[in-house]
Amino acid sequence: MSEEKPSQPKLPPTSALDNPSSPEFENWFEYPVRVQPHQTDYAGLVWHGSYIAWMEEARIECLRSIGIEFADLVAIGCDLPVVDLSVRYHRSIKLGMAVLVKTRMAEVTGVRINWDYAIVSTDGQQLYVTAKVTLVALDSERGRIMRQLPASVKDALAKISALNKN
């Protein structure tokens, strides 16, 4: 008589963000990264905090691509701190691997700016990380949340919104 081993419990299926080749990831800004030694732990796997740094770099480069320099925001007294962050780790990334950090602005509600992220293989076949980040416009001189986004920021973000809809 053979004994049957109980099967290992399985995680429930997740959202469409688990499929990197889905149309969900088309028309996103892409930021290439190659994993450096200082971004890994002792096992040669990317340290969780490195992903967050890559996402911020991708967001800043996305803004730069439409004409918003972060230094200009600082100069006009507008800071964009993170107020909410949600990260899901799907697979590990190893030392030396090349990946793409994909980002897009999801929506702007008042002074809140929501961004989506996906970190995928360069061929788009493997999904490593998905994330959502919410920023809020802050008057850096007064240390208070702004009542509305500066006009120049609002105009530039409208450009990103238009690109995301195409």
Quickly count: other Cβ atoms within 10 Å of residue 153's Cβ.
22
* 134 sits in which H/E element: strand 127-136
Structure tokens at 74: 């600082």
Provide the pairing of β-strand 29-34 with 98-109.
Answer: antiparallel
- CB 143 within 8 Å of CB 79: no
- Tokens coding 165: 């809809």
50 touches 97 (CB < 8 A): no
Would you call 18 a catalytic residue per the annotation?
A: no
> Which residue of the set 18, 41, 84, 155 is catalytic?
41
How many separate helices (H) and strands (E) can be counted in the chain?
3, 8
Residue 153, token pair as written in the block: 């920021």
Tokens representing 97 are 């691997």
Compute the residue count for the chain.
Answer: 166
Give me the active site residues, please.
41
